[in-house]
Structure 1
Amino acid sequence: MIGAVKKLLVIPHIKVHNANALSSPFTIGFPAMTAWLGAVHALQRQLNKQHIGVAFNAVGVISHDIDLQTYKGESDYVHSIVGTGNPLDKTGARSAFIEEARCHLDVSLVIEFDNITVDERARLIEQVTQLLHGKMKMASGDIKSFKTPICMNVTHDDEGELKKLQRLLMPGYALIERRDLMIAAMSEGQDALQALIDFTSVHYSCETDDTDKVKWFRHSKQVNGASAGWIVPIATGFYGISELAAAKNQRDPDTPHRFAESLVTLGEFKMPHRIHYVEDMLWRYHSQGDYYLCQQSKFATPEPCDSGNEFE
């Protein structure tokens, strides 16, 4: 879906406090793509209520900084979640509360929009600024600050406009889908979870020279003889595991309910100056059968992914 001209709303350097870092049942780190597309969809709904007929079609997420709220002591084997100080119950004891992993973020959003004329862009930016300064959240976190949103056009064959956007997003890392790595590994008969672990694990080896000096080496998964890049597991959607039906006490009585599992695949953090087309960083909603996905346009149909637990 590479068009001639892309109309983009760029919201630079959004500082998010206490975002949800539990992106899937078995991964912790950068929030799930469903959180970012969901936040932008919520922003569109608020704008539509104010009679601004904008349509947000796709979202690119660029990470500038992440501060994961975990702690590892000197002799600890694993990291521990830094919990919040929740109020005591009436007996003075700690209330039953499941702690969730949190992180502080500095991200920029690149949003492809439509249905807005050039004359309406100033009002769009004004209303987006007001809404983000209000009660809106991003990935369950509070928005502390952000730089002034910018509207711009990027033409497919205009390198000047693309470079202007890249400079605006640097230094940072755009999150790119790398489901192709999972597909290739699974086509060779490898288990999905094992393939994900192989691409994200780091191994160390050492050698000792004649003077008994130890030298350590770091190894990661290679693709075609070269490093695969900064590969991370990412949650990109859900897979339905039950039929559509009504459920007792469901939150939305007008929408059919079904149980689903999280879909987890691989992603790559890539610096914007290495991206040749804007479309390469944009994520879109896609549904087909039992799949409900956030994916990039280079993947036209769902492929096997690993799955997690239930949700409503």
Structure 2
Amino acid sequence: MSTRRLLVLPHLNIHNANALSSPYTIGFPAMTAWLGFVHALERKLQAAGYPTLKLVATGVFSHRCDLQTYQGPGDFVHSIIGTANPLDKDGKRSAFIEEARCHLDVSLLIEYRAAASELDRVERPEFIQLLDRLLNRMKVAGGDLLGFNEPKMTAVDDRDDKAVRSLILSLMPGFALIERRELMQQAMAEGADALDALLEHLTIHHSCTQDESDQVTWHRQRKVGNEGEKLGWIVPIATGFQGISELGEAKNQRDSDTPHRFAESVVTLGEFKMAHRIRHLDEVLWHYHADLGSNLYLCQQAQLETTTNNDGFY
């Protein structure tokens, strides 16, 4: 039997998070933002007296995502709702770059590990109090953390279906973000370009039929999954970066001791899945994965650990 120790950060209320998840997608923040926040929390906890504590995997459950856009009457496209900068010394509006923002209500499910001598300290009330102090001073996905429910510590056996289901259902109502890279892999194996494979699963086709009485009926259709699977809420998600230059040094780089390289965003398909449809923890937990042979620095899910072919990205 395998016991997994989990930290639940319920209902993080985040204001003005970065919704520009990649250079060409807008919406829910990138997975690198969520794992980056958890990594920053791990470093703060280690510095606060828990040196062996590791936050090894993270599940993201979205309860609300309010994208700050506006669509006027008769408009076809949405416009970003920007914030106004203060007037300059001449009383004119200074130039600014439009930033896509969103307000979020998100819960995080974090698997942690620590040395046996430290586990007892982690599960004491003092640790929850430390978490409370640290979280109140942190940013999440570039946004301000306005509030959150009390963090919870729990341990479940991942073979105990009842215990796992009870934990997941405690995060209802909400949508778990899972990776659906295999949808793009299948389309690309059939000869589709990466961008075409991405758009093919996001496009909604409209068609109409006319009966003998001239009654017109409209139909909406999306691409189905494998073996006729009806796909859920499929979205493009940014899951990491791919290096586009050799490792080396760059002028004025921030860290002179770490090799530098230029990189571009990696985007694939994901699905927001209702929490009550989750059966196993590995369906929702994300972790870092580096494929140095392909210059990929990814956030991926545990069930993809054995994947050797990393096609399925744009």
Query: In the alignment, which of 217, 229, 232 is matched to residue 229 of structure 1?
Result: 232
In structure 1, the partner of 2:280 is 277
SS at match of 2:288: strand
Structure 2: 5+ residue stretches without partners: none
Paired AA for residue 12 in structure 1: P
Matches of 1:123 and 1:231, distance apart in 2: 41
Q: Which one is further off, 213-222 or 142-151?
A: 213-222
Contact 1:291/1:302 (CA < 8 Å) preserved in 2? no
Deviation at 1:119, TM superposition (A): 4.2
Matches of 1:9 and 1:147, distance apart in 2: 13
Q: Is residue 292 of structure 1 aligned with residue 297 of structure 2? A: yes
For the aligned residues, what is the CA RMSD?
Answer: 1.5
SS at match of 2:127: helix
Deviation at 1:302, TM superposition (A): 5.5
In structure 2, the partner of 1:59 is 58
In structure 1, the partner of 2:67 is 68
Matches of 2:20 and 2:106, distance apart in 1: 17
In structure 2, the partner of 1:84 is 83
* Structure 2 CA distance for partners of 1:166 and 1:17, relative to 1, 3 Å: same
Query: In the alignment, which of 152, 162, 166 is matched to residue 164 of structure 2?
Result: 162
Paired AA for residue 237 in structure 1: G
Paired AA for residue 288 in structure 1: D
Matches of 2:110 and 2:178, distance apart in 1: 15
In structure 2, the partner of 1:22 is 20
Matches of 1:127 and 1:69, distance apart in 2: 33
Query: In the alignment, which of 233, 246, 251 is matched to residue 243 of structure 1?
Result: 246
Q: Is residue 304 of structure 1 aligned with residue 311 of structure 2? A: yes
Matches of 1:303 and 1:233, distance apart in 2: 16
Deviation at 1:246, TM superposition (A): 1.3
Deviations 1:186-229 (A, max 9, x none): 11111010010010111222233455443322111112223222
Equivalent residues in 2 for 1:155-234, closer than 5 Å: 155-223=157-225, 224-234=227-237
Q: Is residue 267 of structure 1 aligned with residue 299 of structure 2? A: no
Deviations 1:73-112 (A, max 9, x none): 1121211100001112223222221111100000000000
Paired AA for residue 35 in structure 2: L
Paired AA for residue 296 in structure 1: Q
SS at match of 1:99: coil
Matches of 1:92 and 1:248, distance apart in 2: 37
Contact 2:165/2:278 (CA < 8 Å) preserved in 1? no
In structure 2, the partner of 1:36 is 34
Paired AA for residue 217 in structure 1: H
Deviation at 1:161, TM superposition (A): 1.5
In structure 2, the partner of 1:123 is 126
Paired AA for residue 131 in structure 1: L
Paired AA for residue 56 in structure 2: N
Paired AA for residue 14 in structure 2: V
**Same amino acid, percent of matched pairs:** 56
Deviation at 1:257, TM superposition (A): 1.3
SS at match of 1:124: helix
Number of residue pairs matched by the alignment: 304
